[in-house]
Amino acid sequence: MKKVLVATDKPFAKVAVDGIRQVVERAGYQLVLLEKYTAQSDFINAVADVDAVIIRSDKADKDVIEAGKNLKIVVRAGAGYDNIDLAACTQKGVVAMNTPGQNSNAVAELALGMMVYQARKQFNGGSGTELSGKTIIAKGFGMEVYAFDPFVNKADIEKDGVKVVATVEELYKKCQYISLHIPANDKTKKSINFALLSSMPKGAVLVNTARKEVINEEDLLKLMEERKDFEYVSDIEPDCKAVFEEKYKGRFYFTPKKMGAQTEEANINAGIAAANQIVAFFEKGDIKFKVNK
Ligand code: 3PG
């Protein structure tokens, strides 16, 4: 009987785990749960005799992949797969997948929630500003919406009433609010730099629900120092968090734990998609969402 391990340091909502269990057991497989584990060695031990793994931001590093003697597939229930050692997977013939789009609504809602929180001065009783009429790269609140996306067809973006700009530089020049929805890879790491950020209009707010690695933190701190109107809200604490806490009170907000995909709906969508992808892989050889070579 095939074994599917769900290894989640930050567990899915119970309703999502129930749904995953149903998919797995209906296929005649066994579900093994490893939640809120405290050491990476717990993950390494748990993977030893399983055929498939479902993870969230958990690190499927080389040690994990090599410890999985029967391992054939690792599915990241979510968008970003920078936590999987793809080369180790490929070397061992393990298929790595993600579940694109399944938690994007939850992330978009958090981005807008953090914008409101910041625009209203973190609900501190003082006068804030409104989002209406401001520019942003996501749609909502009667804002003027701009986007730059090198992968999505211009017409597909425009049909949602979003204006497409030709370059990333133009986007930063135009928008008071920028919400980042980019992966962390060799091209994007540290790409959000002083040149881009300093070109944003007065009252600029950068919203990061992506990865801390895409920000050039040295440049970000330089800008925080030079532009008192600039604010940064993020779902991922930067490495330089202590400097923010010491010097920029009220001009930043960091969620205590990554919250973007933490809704029951997103857990159900991504978790069950992962389980279905594993069953489709074993039963039909389906590798539609494979991300390694
Ligand atoms: C993603 O890449 O899908 C998000 O970062 C979600 O991460 P999480 O599953 O750890 O909440």
Q: Where are the domains of the chain?
A: 3-100+262-284, 104-254
CA of 228 to the centre of ligand 1 (A): 31
Ligand 1 within 6 A of CB of 19? no
For atom 2 of ligand 1, the residue with the nearest CA is 80
Structural tokens at position 98 = 């993600």
Whether 80 contacts 183, CB under 8 Å: yes
- Residues 259-289 pLDDT 10s: 999 999 999 999 999 999 999 999 999 999 9
Going by C-alpha positions, the residue among 43, 31, 21 that lies closest to residue 1 is 31
Ligand 1 within 6 A of CB of 56? yes
Q: What is the CB neighbour count within 10 angstroms for residue 174?
A: 19
Kindly tell me if the per-residue pLDDT of 142 is higher than 80.
Answer: no
Strands of 163-164's sheet, edge to edge?
A: 135-136, 144-147, 163-164
- Mean pLDDT over residues 80-91, rounded? 98
Q: What CATH number does the domain located at 3-100+262-284 have?
A: 3.40.50.720
- Residues 198-215 pLDDT 10s: 999 999 999 999 999 999
Q: Which H/E stretch holds residue 279?
A: helix 264-284
CA distances from 200 to 59, 89, 173, 229, 262 (A): 35, 41, 5, 11, 30
DSSP-assigned letters across all residues of 154-185: HHHHHTTTPEEPSSHHHHHHH-SEEEE----S
The pTM (predicted TM-score) of the whole model is: 0.94
Q: Is it true that domain 104-254 has CATH number 3.40.50.720? A: yes
Q: Which H/E stretch holds residue 120?
A: none
- Mean pLDDT over residues 235-258, rounded? 97
Give the ligand 1 atom nearest the CA of 80. Answer: 2
What pLDDT shows up at residue 139?
61
Helix (H, G, I), strand (E, B), or coil: what is residue 232?
strand
CA of 39 to the centre of ligand 1 (A): 20
Ligand 1 within 6 A of CB of 139? no
CA of 80 to the centre of ligand 1 (A): 7
Nearest-angstrom CA–CA distance, 161 and 157: 7
